[in-house]
Amino acid sequence: MTKVYFIRHSKPDYSIHDDYSRPLTEEGIKDCKNVTEFLLNKCITKVFSSPYKRAIDTVKDFAETLGLKIDIIDDFRERKIDNVWVEDFNGFAKEQWNNFDYKLCDGESLNQVQKRNITALQRVLKENANENIVIGTHGTALSTIINHFDKKFGYNEFERISSYMPFAVCIEFEDTDVVKIKEFVFEGQA
Rounded to an integer, what distance in angstroms lies between the CA atom of residue 66 and that of residue 128? Answer: 18
H or E stretch covering 35: helix 26-39
Do residues 31 and 166 touch, judged by C-beta distance below 8 A? yes
What is the mean pLDDT of each successive set of 10 residues along the chain, which is 190 residues long? Answer: 98 91 96 97 98 98 98 96 84 95 94 98 97 98 98 96 95 94 82
Please name each of the domains of the chain with its CATH number: 2-185 (3.40.50.1240)
Q: What is the pLDDT of residue 96?
A: 96
Rounded to an integer, what distance in angstroms lies between the CA atom of residue 40 and that of residue 66? Answer: 8
Q: What is the pLDDT of residue 77?
A: 96
Helices (H), the chain: 26-39, 53-66, 89-98, 110-127, 139-149, 155-161
